[in-house]
Amino acid sequence: MKNHLPSDDHDSSQSGLTRRRFLEATLGTAIVSSLTSPTHASPGNVADVRNGVPYRTLGNTGEKVSCIGLGGYHIGMQSDEQESIRIIRTALDQGINFLDNCWDYNDGNSEIRMGKALQGGYRQKAFLMTKIDSHTRQGAAKQIDECLRRLQTDHLDLLQFHEVIRPTDPEAIFGANGGMEAALAAKQQGKIRYIGFTGHKSPQIHLKMLNTGFAHNFTFNSVQMPLNVMDAHYDSFQKLVLPVLVAHNIGVLGMKPMGSGLILETKTVSSVECLQYALNLPTSVVITGCDTLPILQQALQVARTFHPLSQEQVSALLAKTERAAQGGEHELYKTAHTFDGTVQNPQWLD
């Protein structure tokens, strides 16, 4: 199996990148440095403001999306589904339009509850994203249809391949009778508008997925990955993947701004600081879990009051988290299988 990682510059013929793409990726590093400077932070990508929430452009799609997105996993956890519906509708009413979800979240309940919340005109307010697990054409097509049924919609704004966390995943998805065939067919049928992928395990696997796409003359519309104050110190998506996304104008979906709560347990930074750090990167959307209305209001407040951080502020946040970030013990999604749903349920990949 060839290694198609852009970080492998020993043999450019096997890297999967043309010289032009390699130079573009290198250029991306400079772009990221510029965008995270005090005068050119990611809010320069602000397209407009709705209900006080800044909207940014989702990469090559040209779509306008709220800088904060509502995480799908957490809105399937409430004991009363009416509370889930209230959280979703409040988010949409108050300026958030980007909704995250996944076929496997809470045994499908996250999508079912979101589907109920989107009735009564709310679907028109949302940029709706969900994810599938299957790597096969037949399985992916089935999961896409199940997502549409649960979400009570005739189309998804964005479909993403979930948990690209194994080195073999890219070739399986892009291979003959792979999941990408189903996604492209669904797009042609009008069931989905854009295609992306997500993963939390390794920047190198993300790069391989991007390169596998390039090798098939396919550029993703979005990529979702952990972007937070600890990722910057350990096996960093920010350092390795973000420059490539910026260089190719691929939408950047930041997730786990608080490391699924693990970062907050270190008491090195606050939840507000975590959100501010992720918003300061060239992200299109920072997806955050909001399991209660007060947590949602906190996220909305951070979005509405956000100003680009100075270099001194960024350095101070990174200094506070540097020691705790060593070894990845507070980013278990990178270093353990705790967060790997498709490892615990391999049948989802079929």
* pLDDT for the residue numbered 131: 98
Please check whether residue 335 lies inside any domain of the structure.
no
Identify the band that residue 338 occupies on the pLDDT scale cut at 50, 70 and 90: confident
Contact call for residues 314 and 97 (beta carbons, < 8 A): no
Average per-residue pLDDT for the chain: 89
Please check whether residue 2 lies inside any domain of the structure.
no
Phi–psi pair at 136, nearest 5 degrees = -105, 155
Please check whether residue 114 lies inside any domain of the structure.
yes
Please check whether residue 340 lies inside any domain of the structure.
no
**13-41: per-residue pLDDT in tens?**
333 444 344 334 444 444 444 444 433 34
CATH code, domain with 107: 3.20.20.100
* pLDDT for the residue numbered 69: 98
Residue 300 domain boundaries: 30-326
Cα 53 from Cα 35, distance rounded (Å): 20
**198-225: per-residue pLDDT in tens?**
999 999 999 999 999 999 999 999 999 9
Structural domains counted in the chain: 1
Output the CA angle 14-15-16, nearest 5 degrees.
95
Handedness of CA 138, 143, 149, 152 (dihedral sign): negative
Identify the band that residue 48 occupies on the pLDDT scale cut at 50, 70 and 90: very high
pTM (2 d.p.): 0.88
Please check whether residue 332 lies inside any domain of the structure.
no
Cα 297 from Cα 286, distance rounded (Å): 15
Please check whether residue 188 lies inside any domain of the structure.
yes
User: Can you tell me the mean pLDDT for 266-295?
Assistant: 97
Q: Which helix (H) or strand (E) holds 70?
A: strand 68-70
- Tell the residue number behind the tokens 């003359």, with chain if given: 217
Is the predicted pLDDT of residue 3 greater than 50, yes or no?
Answer: no
Among residues 350, 247, 292, 250, the alpha carbon closest in space to that of 23 is found at 247
Identify the band that residue 329 occupies on the pLDDT scale cut at 50, 70 and 90: confident
Phi–psi pair at 248, nearest 5 degrees = -105, 10
**Cβ neighbour number for residue 259 with a 10 Å cutoff:** 24
**164-188: per-residue pLDDT in tens?**
999 999 999 999 999 999 999 999 9
